[in-house]
Amino acid sequence: MIKTARLLPAMLATLLVLSACKGNKNNTPALAADTTSIVDTTAAEQVTDSTIYGKASEDFGMSTFGMITDDGDTINVCRTANDGTDAKIYGSIKYDDRYAMTTRDNGESLGVLINLTELDKKLKNYEIRNGHLVVNGDTVPVENYLK
């Protein structure tokens, strides 16, 4: 019984460390709920927009993405969600390009990332709502403009 009581805190600490996002330090509060589900235009107009806008910081790598938001906050997220699914990334990732981003896992993981710098070169008069591209009031696939 005493041996089990000593092992329980160690097992809980190990589980906590293993569930963390590969050592990513994210000092920002939870930003948005999971926004990767498909929404039609009507739903997008009724739901508060959870898209975060900003420029890519120098702090990104193969498994992370860093952004300096339009409000001046720094956000660092994992590119892979807690359930093992990869983020949807449209366009390339370049330092100082402008992006629209949604998050998952209480702001810890990237949901959708859209390179607005590249999108602006191919499309005018659009809107991003909850990580979805809206053109002339219709939700259209981002893949039509960015791969």
Domain spans of the chain, in order of start = 2-144
Domain 2-144, what fold? OB fold (Dihydrolipoamide Acetyltransferase, E2P) (2.40.50)
Percent of the chain at pLDDT exceeding 70:
68
Query: Cβ–Cβ contacts within 10 Å for residue 90, how many?
Result: 21
DSSP letter, residue 130: T
* Residue-averaged pLDDT of the chain: 79
What is residue 7's predicted lDDT score, i.e. its pLDDT? 55
- Residues 6+ positions from 118 with CB-CB distance below 8 Å: 91, 92, 97, 146
57-82 pLDDT, tens digit each: 987 788 999 999 999 999 999 999 99
What is residue 45's predicted lDDT score, i.e. its pLDDT? 53
What is residue 48's predicted lDDT score, i.e. its pLDDT? 85
Of the candidates 50, 57, 13, 35, which has an alpha carbon nearest to the alpha carbon of residue 104?
Answer: 35
14-68 pLDDT, tens digit each: 544 445 555 444 444 444 444 444 445 554 456 688 999 999 998 778 899 999 9
Between the two ends of the chain, the Cα-to-Cα distance in Å is: 57
SS3 call for 23: coil
Six-digit token string for 68: 């300096």
DSSP letter, residue 85: P
Cβ atoms 53, 102 nearer than 8 A: no
